[in-house]
């Protein structure tokens, strides 16, 4: 290869690395420093693709978060809209969330009581509060549900 081609290739690789690094999620929940994903509990498991009732598959990833914990912006984000998980009134206690954009990703975050429903939030600033999931699913590993708008697997952005 010519020298300029080698340099160009190296620059492209660096640009790709920088892009993927910028899409890494910072800490989402105050008591889960490394965005650890929910394992097995009596209600199922938190990984993307895990089985759900009615033959459905889990289209997001569950990030462990204790009831009442602070929820942070994982990078600079824009709040697109409110995002409401359920229609079932029995789940009212955890039925809130946000649709967000940032770092080239569009995603929904559920079971968080937002501080606000529009505007921007800087990385590490508070988006809201983890809702009382134990009141709806006693014994579950309380968690935020993180789901990309295209429903692809977000796991690689968490680790
Ligand atoms: C989230 O908001 C974006 C931007 O407004 C929109 O395109 C997308 O359809 C919304 N996605 C979901 C799953 O709510």
Q: How far is the CA of 79 from the centre of ligand 1 (A)?
A: 10
The predicted pLDDT at position 14 comes to 80
pTM (two decimals) = 0.88
Which residues approach ligand 1 with their CB closer than 6 A? Answer: 80-81, 83, 99, 106, 108, 149
The predicted pLDDT at position 5 comes to 86
CA nearest ligand 1 atom 12, residue = 149
Q: How far is the CA of 52 from the centre of ligand 1 (A)?
A: 23
Domain assignments of the chain as residue spans, ordered by start: 2-157
Q: Which atom of ligand 1 is closest in space to residue 99's alpha carbon?
A: 1
The predicted pLDDT at position 9 comes to 86
Q: Which residue spans within the chain are E strands per DSSP?
A: 40-41, 44-45, 61-64, 70-72, 77-82, 97-102, 105-110, 112-114, 119-121, 126-130, 143-148
CA nearest ligand 1 atom 5, residue = 80
Q: How far is the CA of 2 from the centre of ligand 1 (A)?
A: 45
CATH architecture, domain defined by 2-157? Distorted Sandwich (2.70)
Q: How far is the CA of 63 from the centre of ligand 1 (A)?
A: 20
Q: How far is the CA of 77 from the centre of ligand 1 (A)?
A: 14
Q: Which of 82, 106, 120 to mutate to test the pocket of ligand 1 (most atoms within 8 A of CB)?
A: 106
The predicted pLDDT at position 1 comes to 63
Chain segment 134-148, per-residue pLDDT in tens: 999 999 999 999 999
Contact 27, 33 (CB under 8 A): yes
Residue numbers of the chain with a pLDDT score lower than 70: 1, 17-21
The predicted pLDDT at position 142 comes to 98
The predicted pLDDT at position 8 comes to 86
Contact 105, 62 (CB under 8 A): no
The predicted pLDDT at position 21 comes to 61
């Amino acid at each position: 290869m010519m020298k300029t081609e080698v340099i160009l290739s190296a620059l492209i690789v660096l640009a790709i690395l920088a892009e993927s690094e910028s899409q890494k999620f910072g800490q989402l929940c105050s008591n889960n420093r490394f965005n650890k994903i929910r394992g097995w509990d009596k209600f199922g498991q938190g990984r993307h693709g895990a089985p759900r009732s009615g033959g459905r598959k889990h289209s997001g990833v569950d990030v462990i978060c204790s009831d009442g914990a602070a929820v942070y912006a994982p990078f600079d984000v824009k709040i697109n809209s409110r995002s409401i998980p359920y229609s079932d009134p029995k789940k009212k206690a955890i039925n809130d969330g946000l649709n967000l954009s940032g770092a080239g990703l569009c995603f929904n975050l559920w079971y968080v009581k937002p501080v606000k429903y529009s505007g921007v939030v800087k990385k590490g600033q508070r988006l809201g509060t983890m809702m009382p999931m134990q009141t709806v699913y006693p014994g579950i590993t309380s968690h935020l549900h993180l789901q990309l708008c295209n429903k692809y697997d977000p796991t690689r952005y968490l680790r």
